[in-house]
Amino acid sequence: MGAKSVGPLQYASRMEPQVCVCTSEAQNGLQKFRVVRAGAQSPEEVGPREAALRRRKGLTRIPEPEVFSASPNPLNWFGILVPHSLRQAQASFQEGLQLAVDMASLQIHINWGRSQLRGLQEKLKQLELGAA
């Protein structure tokens, strides 16, 4: 697999995001992010129930993992058999995404802290003016 076979030319023409973020706001106005994995169920969760259903219906076909995934794995854009290094890269980027979301929350915290500080500095100025 050459350097040219992993790149934008291999991207799918349709993509459904599997990772999103939700924002939540505390009482003091501080917001933060939380990773949300879209796509209803993992194959592991759906598998046993489907198997039970099939047994009741008298079917003996073994369920295939592809049927259960909510959205296709982007790894498949690059072929059926992908190098292990690409899988590892995917895992690293998935970890990286969680870190990025945490960092974004910290950034919001910094900005929130700045605006709190500015507000308090204003108040202090007013008090000093009042006392003078």
Partner 1 sequence: MAGRGKLIAVIGDEDTVTGFLLGGIGELNKNRHPNFLVVEKDTTVNEIEDTFRALGAFSAGEAEASPDHHDPQLLNETPNRQFLNRDDIGIILINQYIAEMVRHALDAHQRSIPAVLEIPSKEHPYDAAKDSILRRARGMFTAEDLR
Judged by DSSP in three states, 107 sits in helix
Report the C-alpha gap between 5 and 120 in whole angstroms: 56
Partners of 20 in the beta sheet? Answer: 36
User: Residue 101 corresponds to which amino acid?
Assistant: V
Decide: is 93 part of the binding site for partner 1 (CB under 8 A).
yes
Decide: is 97 part of the binding site for partner 1 (CB under 8 A).
yes
Report the C-alpha gap between 85 and 91 in whole angstroms: 10
Stretch that binds partner 1, among 44-52, 53-61, 114-122 (CB under 8 A): 114-122
Q: Which residues between 44 and 83 bind partner 1 (CB under 8 A)?
A: 74-75
Interface residue list for partner 1 (CB under 8 A): 6-23, 31, 33, 36-38, 74-75, 86, 89-90, 92-94, 96-97, 100-101, 103-105, 107-108, 110-112, 114, 117, 121
